[in-house]
């Protein structure tokens, strides 16, 4: 297990180095940082002074080492557009994105796992057949179209729910939450459903196929032969093993989740990191783009490690090896 984890760690470091190098190249070579930061009508001397102040006149390897040092201390440069430190911008937007992503993931697990189990245990029940055909359409429906239709029905026609923003927020010091107000919760409904739907189909299909596999295995048949109660067999013996791949896939889907969070946040004008990113693409605000890349790279590597560790807890076989 230690060998497995150390190989993973090495891969993680490799990915992080590659991502940092790409972020550095973007930061340093795309566009001219000096031209974007200097005031209009600046003289050549002023530009040179800024260039020297930013350390852009030094050799490339030295600059890269400096860049890595800056990143490690949490300094990701200044946004061209907002003239604020990018780290502050990202941290301000982080709560919005996290709340959305967490609610969406909980929703998709809470609905996806029971529906998946149901359609495995009773494949001919009406609800199972309905969900089976619904997933086919769900897969072909782009996230932004789902969001658009939800807005059209629930915000424009029925006027039940808001279509954009986070509603009223409660300031908890470092964290601004929408969980504590009615308008905050109402604003959360449509975006989180939109984001949950694409994961939901995946989780449902996965749980269903895993459950069918597990139920036909010998140990389950023996458990039935021993006369163990059905509920015990299904929930304790079968579901536990069927959930193994769900943990991995939910973890590996984090990249997809980030991508779809970008789309969802833009559709609902949800003031999170994804919306910051799409706006930065249009501007174009290179420091924000490269910082976002670094953040996503780090997050991805981190989640992958967590999934590996979780795996060893769920599967006792990995612990002894």
Partner 1 sequence: MAMARQSLLHRLPPVSVMIAFLILAVMLVLVIFAPMIAPMDPRDVSSYSLMDMEIPPAFMDGGDPRFLLGTDNQGRDLVSVILFGLRISVLIGIGAVLFAAALGVMLGLVAGYFGGVVDSVVMRIADVLVSFPTILVALLISGIARAQLGTDMVLTWAPVILIFAISVNEWVQYARTVRASTMVEVSRDYVRAAKVIGLPSGRIMVRHILPNVMSSVMVIATINLAGAILTEATLSFLGAGMPPTYPSLGTLIRIGNQFLFSGLWWIAVMPAAVLVILVLAVNVVGDYLRDRFNPKLMAR
Residues near partner 1 (CB under 8 A): 11, 14-15, 18-19, 26, 30-31, 136-137, 139-145, 148-149, 151-152, 156, 163, 255-256, 258-260, 262-263, 266, 277-278, 280-286, 289, 293, 296-297, 300
Which residues does 74 contact at the CB level (< 8 Å), separation at least 6? Answer: 87
Residue number with CB closer to partner 1 (31 or 229) = 31
Residue number with CB closer to partner 1 (173 or 282) = 282
| Residues 178, 150: Cα–Cα separation, whole Å | 20
Q: Tokens standing for 178?
A: 């929408």
Residue number with CB closer to partner 1 (93 or 239) = 93
Task: Supply the minimum distance, in Å, between the C-beta of residue 155 and partner 1.
Answer: 8
Task: Supply the minimum distance, in Å, between the C-beta of residue 234 and partner 1.
Answer: 29
Residue number with CB closer to partner 1 (31 or 114) = 31
Residue number with CB closer to partner 1 (96 or 237) = 96
79 contacts 86 by C-beta, under 8 angstroms: yes
Task: Supply the minimum distance, in Å, between the C-beta of residue 14 and partner 1.
Answer: 7
Task: Supply the minimum distance, in Å, between the C-beta of residue 321 and partner 1.
Answer: 24
Cβ-based burial of 100 (10 A; exposed 0-12, middle 13-18, buried ≥19): buried
Q: Tokens standing for 228?
A: 């163990």
Q: Exposure pattern of 198-225 as b/e (b: 16+ CB <10 Å)?
A: bbbbbbbbbbbebbeebbeeeebeebee
- N- to C-terminal Cα distance for the chain? 6
Task: Supply the minimum distance, in Å, between the C-beta of residue 23 and partner 1.
Answer: 10
């Amino acid at each position: 297990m230690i060998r497995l984890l150390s190989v993973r760690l090495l891969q993680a470091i490799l990915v992080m180095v590659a991502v940092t190098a790409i972020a550095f190249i973007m930061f340093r070579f795309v566009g001219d940082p000096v031209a974007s930061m200097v005031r209009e009508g600046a003289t050549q001397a002023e530009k040179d002074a800024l260039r020297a102040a930013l350390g852009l006149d030094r050799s490339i390897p030295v600059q890269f080492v400096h860049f890595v040092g800056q990143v490690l201390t949490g300094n990701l440069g200044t946004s061209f557009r907002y003239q604020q430190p990018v780290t502050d911008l990202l941290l301000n937007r982080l709560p919005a994105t996290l709340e959305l992503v967490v609610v969406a993931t909980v929703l998709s697990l809470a609905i996806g796992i029971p529906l998946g189990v149901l359609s495995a245990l009773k494949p001919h029940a009406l609800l199972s057949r309905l969900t089976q055909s619904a997933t086919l359409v769900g897969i072909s429906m782009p996230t932004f179209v789902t969001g658009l239709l939800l807005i059209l029905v629930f915000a424009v026609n029925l006027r039940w729910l808001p279509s954009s923003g986070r509603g009223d927020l409660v300031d908890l010091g470092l964290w601004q939450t929408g969980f504590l107000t009615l308008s905050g919760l109402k604003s959360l409904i449509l975006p989180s459903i939109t984001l949950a739907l694409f994961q939901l189909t995946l989780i449902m299909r996965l749980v269903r196929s895993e459950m069918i596999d597990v139920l036909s295995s010998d140990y389950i048949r023996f458990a039935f032969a021993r006369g163990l109660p059905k509920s015990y067999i299904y929930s304790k013996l079968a579901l536990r093993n069927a959930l193994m791949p769900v943990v991995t896939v939910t973890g590996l889907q984090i990249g997809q989740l980030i991508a779809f969070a970008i789309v969802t946040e833009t559709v609902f004008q949800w003031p999170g990191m994804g919306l910051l990113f799409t706006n930065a693409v249009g501007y174009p605000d290179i420091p924000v783009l490269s910082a976002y890349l670094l953040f996503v790279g780090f997050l991805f590597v981190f989640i992958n490690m967590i999934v590996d560790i979780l795996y060893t807890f769920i599967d006792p076989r990995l612990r002894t090896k």
